[in-house]
Amino acid sequence: MATAGRTSQSSRPPARIRSRRLLTAGVMRTEVTLAAGERGAENAAMSTVLKDVLSLGAAERLQLLEEIWDSLTATPEAIPVTDAQRKELARRRRAHSRDPRAAKSWEEVRAKLVHRR
């Protein structure tokens, strides 16, 4: 898988999206096809990184996860939105336009979640 922050190389063809499959309601997994020459190197590098990450303690992995998430949210335009996600957002906007009073504030939602415990 291509990594963020890597400079593009002219001899390296861009990765292509091979398929998308539904993981859970509204969540899609995208598989990336890499050029044959870089597949082995990328897999080896990812395997090494994964071993290093898994050797960390739970708190360190959570911190790393937060840092990765922050790096992704810093450039939201780099994260692709699927057609299904666009349709769902449009549906929710229409529903809100029809009845804005049906929306719940974060405080209401949080209070309900806390009450469930």
CA end-to-end span of the chain, whole Å?
A: 39
- Structure confidence at residue 35 (pLDDT): 57
Is the pTM for the entire model greater than 0.85? Answer: no
Domain boundaries along the sequence of the chain? 1-80, 81-117
pLDDT tens digits for range 53-93 = 999 999 999 999 999 999 988 888 888 899 999 999 999 99
